Amino acid sequence: MKPALLGLTVIAALYVAHRLALWAEARGFLYYSWRRGSSGALGNAFLEVQAIVEPSRRHVLEQRVEARREAPDSADPPDAGA
């Protein structure tokens, strides 16, 4: 009887943690299941470290930064000719 009660308690705790994580995601506190996080700052930091170790990989970081600068603003309306 104790193992069954322990199992139900663990399942209930996991469900409560899941619902709490969904609630936190809906309010923008964390990325959980619906939205994907970006590789932004952490990815660029690792690329900087890799650029130190492998200077030939520096162009990857430069391309990523350049693409971010050239990315169109999402609030702009689309071009009429496109």
Closest listed residue to residue 24, CA positions, set 13, 35, 8: 35
pTM of the model: 0.42
Q: Which two tokens stand for residue 71?
A: 């990315």
Residue 78 predicted with pLDDT over 80: no
Question: Could you tell me which residues come within 8 angstroms of residue 24 by beta carbon, excluding any fewer than 6 positions away?
Answer: 30, 32
Q: What pLDDT digit, counting tens, does each position of 15-51 carry?
A: 999 999 989 888 888 877 765 656 666 777 777 777 7
H helix or E strand, kind and range, residue 68 = helix 58-70
Q: Which two tokens stand for residue 48?
A: 């900087």
Mean pLDDT on 10-17 = 96
H helix or E strand, kind and range, residue 24 = helix 2-26
